[in-house]
Structure formats: structure tokens, C-alpha cells
Structure 1
Amino acid sequence: MRNAEKYARGYFMPPKQSLKWTQKEYITEAPTWCSVDLRDGNQALIVPMNLEEKLEYFQLLVDIGFKEIEVGFPAASETEFTFLRTLIEKNLIPDDVTIQVLTQSREHIIRKTFESLRGAKKAVVHLYNSTSVAQREQVFRKSKEEIIDIAVTGAKLLKACAEETEGNFQFQYSPESFTGTEVEFSLEICNRVLDVWQPTADNKVIINLPATVSMSMPHVYASQIEYMSEHLNYRENVIVSLHPHNDRGTGVADAELGMLAGGQRVEGTLFGNGERTGNVDIITLALNMYSHGVDPKLNFENIPGILAVYERLTKMRVSERHPYGGELVFTAFSGSHQDAIAKGMKWREEQEREYWSVPYLPIDPKDIGREYEGDIIRINSQSGKGGIGYVLQLKYGLDLPPKMREHFGYCVKNVSDQQQKELLPDEIYDIFQKEYVNIKTPVEFVKYRFTDDDDFQTVVTIRTGNEVKEITGTGNGRLDAISNALQTHLGLDYSDLSYKEHALETGSKSQAVSYIGIKASNGSVHWGCGIDVDIMTSSVKALFSAVNQMSKNGK
């Protein structure tokens, strides 16, 4: 691309190396989660939610288990103000949930914010002002000391208003655009605010360090967080909070490395909704931890239900490939993937294992409300015999022999390729029925009887067109006797009869299913399937089906 030279790295590394976080392997406990869906997420919608929608969304967040929920910018609009007053006056906030509100460091906005909070059982008042080089130079045109004065003046006013207002308040400060701010200056302004608020063990202060615009690789953000965490005043009484955005597509990585570096709290949204490319996706973060055996302290056991409410209220669509929540994230179309998953699932049925381990599935889809049937393996022209066989077995109880599964796999792929579409399980089953099951032309099986149990002599009644006749045969077993009768009558020559049977456990448990493969003299193999309440009859029907396939193909 042209003009790359016009871009300079706009972030700042700490004045000294901060790499202790690199010695940690994974996140060992859940952070404090704060949902900002109703503020960051809502303001980013083409049509923001109305009061009723915001109330329903708030309840969704409570049901998921969020204990801190940012409910808006109450001084920004009447809808935001009314929403907050409704939550408080109608006692809709559970006792164990803390609401959070945002305010700029401007006097009339701060006073309006506290007016909206009267009577709140517990609320975080989130004060912010922009500190980055770009904001200082281009937007505010102020010096560092003038920017510090904005923050300190706001901090003092928060303290005064909290003393005058009925309620229980905790303070939070964000140097907005932290990632574009010199790290030493971020530390200075945060410490000046902390000096005003004087946090204690009983009244801790939250210092939120947002990647308002993601400007660096994730390790840089982690180093910035570690430096701040190690140099903030009153550190034991400060909660370090992260608020990554996703401009570079690294919001999750920023948050994960930031937690390793000292972040104790994460602000984000469901499915990463928010301005521009969005906030960090708390669902992905939480389930990443879950995949490492760590309880995220949030309930995502019904991702499809959460997704449905989210899309209805926000009018946003979650991509099919979105981690964990997308329609296709646990789905394999590739034949090799399908085969590995099918074998892995079968292996789990045969083994007693403490830990989940299935190829291509980092977590058990059922843990988050996804179904194996129709979710894990879906069939198109790229699919393989393993996946197609898995669908038949899972949904219809049909456990095809390996060679028959391969033969059927080509049938299904040809249909999908010709129709240029994915095939649903019922369509796959219909193809199987038409291709193999109880085939009646050109020769229809009617009934059989055995005349001598020792010699296995049989009389088989068949129908060809409108003609019904009896044919006879002898063999070393009942099925062999019937096979010999068919070969003699029809003038066929086949060998290597492959046979498998099992109870049909899906649907009617009284039925049996048999599979038979025969090899013609020219080497071609033909398969049939029989289904009947009697196991012997199902075997005969399978044989007739295979023979009919052979006859129809002119072999």
C-alpha cells in the first residue's frame, strides 16, 4: 500500500521495562466484570434502545450474573436520566448489583449526574477527561497542567456532591485515551486524582485505564498496565480496571494480557458491541477462561437465548463466525474435520475421562446451550463420510458399516454439489432411504419360508411387475440360501457379502436394521439396507435392496 510513511506509532512504552506479566501462563481467577452495554453499547446503536428495551436488557445482564452494570450517561439525555430513575424508584436493582454512571469532568454534568442518583443503594460514579497528546493538542489545546486541573477539579466536585446526596457512592477515574497518553503523565494525573479521593480499604477507588483507541500490539498495553499497577499511589486500595476497544482486532488479547499485568476488573459488552469496532467481548473473555478450567462467575449456559435477546433489542447481528456465539463456530463442513470430531465423540462415549478433549472443539458445545445435532456437523459438497455417517447415527440411529458410509458419502456430496446448497439432516436421511432402504424394484421381496432347517432350503416369494412367483435356494445358512435363490433366478454373479445389523434405537425401539454389501464379478460394490421389526426379515430386505441396486445398474 502507498503512504505507509504517513503513519507513526502513537503509543508510549513505559519509562522502564515492565514484563513480569510474561512469566504468567494463564488467568487463574475471574476479574470483576462490569457490563457497559447500556452505555457504550447503547450509544453505538443506529437506533438506541427505548426505556422498555433498556429495562429488559438490564434484566438480561442481571440474569447472566453481572454485579456491576454501567447504566448510562444520565446527564446526556432525558431517556438516560429516566432509565436510571426508573431503576432506583421501582427498586429494580438487586442488592448485590452495583450500578455505574459516567460523567465528564464538567460541573453542570456532575451535578445532574448526582441528581439522577438520589437514593441509589450503591453506585460507581465514573469521572473521565481526555489526556492523550492528540486530544490535548487538537481538541482542548491545553497544557498538561491544565488537563490535570480539569481532572482534579472534577474529583473534588464528585467528593462534595457525594456528601450532599442520599446514596452510597464509589468513585472511578479514567484518563480517556490512555493508550495515546505518555505513561508517566497518565500516572501523574491518576495519582493527583487519588490524592483528592484518599481511598481506603473500606472505600476503594477504581482507576480505569481504557484503550479508548487500540494503538499498539497487546504486549505494549500489558506493559503499560503493569507499570501503572506498580506505581499508583494507595495501590492496596485501588482497583485497576481495563476497558479495551477493538480497533486493531486485539481487544480480547489486550484484556487477557492486561489481566496478567495487574488488571483486576474488566469493562466490556456482550458480543463486543460498541463504538467503531466495539468494546472487548466479555463473552469471549469469560469462555476463554472457562476453556482453561476457570469459573468466569458469569452464566453463559444458554448462549442461543442470550444471542436472541441481544439481536432483538440492539437490532445488531452477531456474525456466524463470532467466537462461541456464532451459528457456525462449532460446525465442521470439512470432511477431515468431521471425521475427527465424529471419532472423538465416539471415543468419549467409550472412555471415562475427567477432562474434555475432542478434536476441533475447544469446549463442549452443550455447556453453552448448543446442540450436537445440527450444530457440530453440517453437510455440503465439502463434507466427508465420517460427518455424514455421524449425522445419520446421531439423529436417526443408523450405524453404517465403514465401506457403506464411504459409498453413501459420495451420493450425498454429489447431491449437494449439484444443488449447490447445504443438506439438512432430513434431506440426508431421505437420500439414504431412496438409495438403500427396502428397495422393491425390479424385484420385490414378499415372504420366505424354510423347508429343512438342517440343509437351509428356502422358498422365497417375489414380485416382478405384476407377476408373483416362488423361487428356491439352498445354502450354508438362511441368508446364504436366499442369496443363492436370487442369484440363480436373476442370473447374477456376486460375492464377498458384507453384513452388519443392530437394533434401531432411535424412533421405534422394536425395529431392527441390517446392511448388506455385495461385490459383482466386475468388482463394483452395491449396498442395501433393510428395516423391519424382525431381524431376519430386515436382513432379507437389505439383500434384496443390494441386489436391486446391482440389477438397476446393469451389473
Structure 2
Amino acid sequence: MDTTLRDGAQTTSVSFTLNDKIRIALALDDLGVHYIEGGWPGSNPKDEEFFKEISKYSLKAKVAAFGSTKKKGVRAEEDKNLNAIIDSGVKVAVLFGKSWTLHVTHVLKVSKEENLELVYDSIRYLRDHGLEVIFDAEHFYQGYKEDEEYALEVIKTAEEAGASVIALADTNGGTLPHEIYEITSRVVKELKAKVGLHMHNDSGCAVANTLMGVLAGARHVQGTINGLGERTGNADLIQVIPNLQLKMGFKVIPDLTKLKGVSRLVYELSGLHPNPYQPFVGDNAFSHKAGVHADAVMKVPRAYEHIDPTLVGNQRRIVISELAGSSNLLNYLEKIGIKVDKKDERLRKALQKIKEMENKGYSFDLAPASAVLQILKELGIYTKFIDLQYWKVINESGNLSLAVVKVNSQLQASEGVGPVHALDMAVRNALQKVYPELSRVKLIDYRVVLPGEIKNTESLVRVTIEFTDGKDNWRTEGVSTSVIEASVIALIDGLDYYLQVSKKLKTEILN
């Protein structure tokens, strides 16, 4: 069961619009999750509207509404929260209740017997209205460790009331994997209902705890896309699903290759940057930087890769850097149609040049296209298509900037929104007269970082620009004490790389 739209929406700084929630729900349905927890209809108007809107779609997944057991002193049929779930029109309710005596007596402030009545009456009321009920035993593992007998009594009461799934929640995320296994194993033996898991990541163990719970016999798993959730988040389904399917032999979803796309959509709609180090789908999940690693993985992929990256919609990436070896360079050359002997002395010189540039502030693992240009120059197959002889930028009031450039003996001036845009326009206007194919190249990302200082006085600026021609993407980089000059270097490299590849290198073969 995915709870991105409920527990994931409780992530600090994340706020999904109604349209965001619909888009995510449709993506989750396409992914093949079995339950989509859409929100808490008794808590806010947006979630109530979501259930109305999502009912207009024919989903394969079951849409579930979340809520709590009835309030103390109120009959189930009079409880607004329970009736909001019924009124939402869903067929599945996810109901949470207290299973830790601390919360029963000190937070909810009822007797242990009263809490059992709250659990039973709430579940029974929803069942009598035809709903399937998943009972989330809040703080179950904490409760079990303090009062084993009562924690078990709570979930047995939920089972007796008609809950089809009893989900054991590690609500404060403080339980470790070996404890999860031991306690879950005991619960599986005690219950006839399906046992589920709801893990938080406060100890960094949410994914491991989920897998250990499954090993112990649980067969219902809850989590969120990208591990969104309260505090440090929930179990990341992007990690849980492929581990269950590829490593543990469970059939979870029909097509794992959709995982990366769903992950990126949720990052986009949550306003968060994708985590490049995220297992399975991160951009660095199958990146190889050290020369030894790259050489081995190009010969035998499983030497350093635990799965084929394409299984989860990802791809292998060989990084060019100061730690790279000849194999890293060969990989990039082969991608653009260049074949060079690994023992070619020119490769060694190119690698040395790259290491020298990285020592000065470049980071070619972020912008490999700039490194490829250096390799081509060392190989002696570089053609100088662009000769930038002069440039100047004038910033006027507001956002207007004027750029004047002299490139390939042509003088061109352009205005733009900001200095980089103005420079881009001026350079293009001059070059497209000779190279019309540059009209296909678009600048799609621009980033600035400060990698260090020179003699403790001037700060270096590193600018990375990403380009696309609609088919391929590439990144180039410039380093300078001036952000404008660094931008010019990266911009020219980006256009230059495209011309080198499109005009010459796809048919060039070296022996």
C-alpha cells in the first residue's frame, strides 16, 4: 500500500495540490500498487475533494481513506471522522488506533479497556457499512516492548472486529531490524488476519525493517515513494519493491522499469530535488568513478553492479574525473563513435590533463562533455568550429542585459533576461548563420557552485550548464573567479561539443 498522498504529504515543506495528488495517484495505479491511501477526509477539505475527483477514474488499485478510531465518549455512528470515511465513497478504510499503553493512558487518557472498545466499535462500524478495514496499530513495537500482553490484545481485538489486515507500525522509527523480526514473527503466529508493516525511518532502518518484517511472515507492506513522511520519512517503496521482487522472489508489481519515472514525478510535485544517491533509481546508483571499477564493470557488469540498472528504469554511467582510468575515457569515446586503443599514449596525456583541470576546480563527473573536448584535442581530432574573440556584458536596470560578442570574426549584439541569456542569444545569432543545426540546441539547466578559493583571496566559481537537442542531453562546465566568464566557458563548450559530435565524430574511427 502506498501512503505518499497521506503520510508522505506530512513531510516538512511538502504540500501537494489537488491536481498533484490526482497525478500521483494515476502514476501509482499505472505502477501497479494494490492500495493507494488518498488522505484523511475528516481532516481537511482538499482530501475530501480528492476522493470525489479520483472516483471519476477507473483505477485498478483500491483507493483507501485514512482516519482514527472514534473519539472517547462518542458513539461510532455519531463520530464525524468515521462518517467522513464512509461519505468519501471508498471501499477501503485505513484506521489507526493506540497499541502502546503510554499513548492510551497519557495521550488519549482513557483506560486500557476503553481503548479496546474504541478499536472494536470503530472497525465494526465501518465493516457494517461494507468497508474493508486495514487497522494500523500505532506505536505497536514500542507498545509490545513495554506491555507485550496489552499490545497483542489490541491487535486481536482489531482482528475480532473484522480488520482484514493488521499493520504493525514502528511509528517513532526507533526499532531495529532484529527486533522487528522477532516481534513480527510472534504476531504472525498469534493472528489469522494478514499482518502488515508501517515503518518510519528515524533510525535509518525503515527499508531494512520492512524487509525483515516480510521475512518474519508479514504480507502487507506500507510505504511512500522516495521515503517521504513525518520527520525523517517512511520506508521508501522505491527501494522496498525491487528488493522484494528481485532479491526475495516476491511478485510485487508488473513492471519495475517504471520505478524511476514515478520517483521523478513525486520529486517534481513535492518540490524536492531528486536524490542522486538514492538506491536503484538515483543518477549515481550505477555510476562508476574509480578507474578500476569502470574497467571491471565494462568487462563484467555484475563485478560492481548488484542488478542490471535497466530493470528499474535506470542506466549505467561511467564518470570522468581525477580518479578515472583509461576505461572511463574509452567509454565516453565509444558513445560518440570513436574507437581508440586502450594503450594509446594520447589517452594517458588526456587523463593527465583532466586531472590537472580538476585540481584547478573542475568536476568532470558533473560535466563530462567538457572533458570529452579535452580528450579530442589530445587525440588530435578536434576541429575548431568556434573562435570566441571578444565578449562583453552590460547589465542595465531591472533584469535586462546586453551582450556584445565577436565570434568567428562576426560581431553580434543581443539583449536578454540576465547576462547568460544575453550571451547565449548573441553567440547563437552569430554562429547559426554558419551552423544552422545549433537552432536545435536548448539550454535546460544552469547551476553555480563555489568549489574553493585562490590564495585565500578570490573565490572560484564553477558553472555547469545542461543542453539538449531533443534527443540527447549533455553537460559542460566552466571555472573562473568570475561567474560570467565561467558561464561563457561552459556555454561555448556546450555548443562546441554538439558541433564536434554532429558534424564529424559519429563516423570517425581511430586505430
TM-score clears 0.5:
yes
Secondary structure class of the residue paired with 2:134: strand
Mapped contact 1:74–1:112 kept (Cα < 8 A): yes
Residue 181 of structure 1 deviates from its aligned partner by 0.6
Cα deviations by residue, 1:470-525 (Å, 9 ceiling, x for unpaired): xxxxxxxxxxxxxxxxxxxxxxxxxxxxxxxxxx9x977765423xxxxxxxxxxx
* Residue 140 (structure 2) aligned to one of 160, 171, 178: 178
Q: Is 1:306 aligned to residue 259 of structure 2?
A: no
Which secondary structure state, in structure 2, belongs to the residue aligned with residue 361 of structure 1? coil
Match of 1:377 among 309, 318, 322: 318
User: Which region of structure 1 is more displaced relative to structure 2, 383-392 or 292-301?
Assistant: 292-301
What's the offset of the Cα at 1:302? 4.0
**Structure 1: distance between partners of 2:307 and 2:115:** 47
Written as runs of structure 1 = structure 2, the 5 A alignment for 1:337-376 is 337-345=293-301, 358-372=302-316, 376=317
User: Quick one: structure 1 residues 287 and 194, their matched pair in 2 at CA, closer, same or farther if it must change by over 3 Å?
Assistant: closer
Instruction: Give CA-to-partner distance per residue, 1:388-444, whole Å, 9 cap, x none.
Output: 22222233332323253444322322233234322634323322222232599xxxx
Q: Residue deviations 1:442-484, cap 9 Å, x none? A: xxxxxxxxxxxxxxxxxxxxxxxxxxxxxxxxxxxxxxxxxxx
For 1:365, give the aligned amino acid: P
The residue number in structure 1 matching 2:8 is 41
Which has the greater radius of gyration?
1
Structure 1: runs of 5 or more not aligned: 1-33, 163-167, 200-204, 346-357, 441-503, 515-555
Deviation at 1:227, TM superposition (A): 0.6
Distance 1:146 1:179 in 2: 21
Aligned to 2:236: 281
| Match of residue 272, structure 1, among 227, 251, 262 | 227
- Which string of whole-angstrom CA distances, capped at 9 and with x for unpartnered residues, describes residues 18-61 of structure 1? xxxxxxxxxxxxxxxx1111111113252421211111111111
**Alignment map for 1:56-95 (pairs within 5 Å):** 56-88=23-55, 90=56, 92-94=57-59
Equivalent position of 2:86 in the other structure: 114
Per the alignment, residue 398 of structure 1 pairs with 339
C-alpha contact 2:340 2:510 (8 A) present in aligned 1? no
- Secondary structure at 1:311's aligned position in 2? helix
How high is the TM-score relative to the length of structure 2? 0.69
* CA distance 1:78–1:278, change in 2 (3 Å): same
Distance 1:84 1:132, change over 3 A: same
Task: Report deviation, 1:305.
Answer: 2.8
Shift of 1:290: 4.1
Q: Residue 270 of structure 1 contacts residue 282 of structure 1 at CA under 8 Å; is this kept in 2? A: yes
Q: How does 1:74-473 map to 2 (within 5 A)?
A: 74-88=41-55, 90=56, 92-94=57-59, 96-106=60-70, 107-117=79-89, 120=90, 123-160=91-128, 162=129, 169-182=131-144, 183-197=148-162, 205-232=164-191, 235=192, 238-292=193-247, 294=249, 295-345=251-301, 358-372=302-316, 376-404=317-345, 405-422=347-364, 424-437=367-380
CA contact (8 A) 2:264 2:274 kept: no
Query: 8 Å contact 1:396–1:507 — kept in the other structure?
Result: no
SS in 1 for 2:136: strand
- Please state whether the residue corresponding to 1:402 is helix, strand or coil: coil
Alignment-mate amino acid for residue 153 of structure 1: D
1:360-394, Cα deviation, whole Å (9 max, x unpaired): 2111222233334xxx2111222222212222223
Q: Percent identity?
A: 23
**Cα displacement (A) at 1:229:** 0.8
Q: Answer whether contact 2:336 2:506 (CA < 8 A) is retained.
A: no
How many residues of Structure 1 are paired with residues of Structure 2 in the alignment?
Answer: 379
| Alignment RMSD (CA, Å) | 2.5
Q: Distance in 2 between matches of 1:135 and 1:371?
A: 47
Q: Which residue of 2 aligns with 1:513?
A: 510
Q: Secondary structure at the match of 1:147?
A: helix
1:103–1:109 contact (8 Å) kept in structure 2:
yes
Deviation at 1:145, TM superposition (A): 1.7
Unaligned runs of 5+ in 2: 71-78, 384-500
Task: Report the 3-state secondary structure (helix = DSSP H, G, I; strand = E; otherwise coil) of the residue aligned with 1:125.
Answer: strand
With normalisation by structure 1, the TM-score equals 0.64
Alpha carbons of 1:70 and 1:507: their partners in 2 closer, same or farther (altered >3 Å)? Answer: farther
The residue matched to 2:132 in structure 1 has which SS?
A: strand
Aligned partner letter, 1:97:
A
* Contact 2:281 2:313 survives alignment (8 Å): no
Paired residue for 2:435?
Answer: none
Cα distance in structure 2, aligned partners of 1:343 and 1:263: 40
Residue from 14, 17, 29 that aligns with 1:50: 17
1:157 shift after superposition = 2.4
- Amino acid in structure 1 at the alignment position of 2:184: I
Separation of aligned partners in 2, 1:438 and 1:256:
53
> Does the CA-based 8 Å contact 1:286-1:298 persist in structure 2?
no
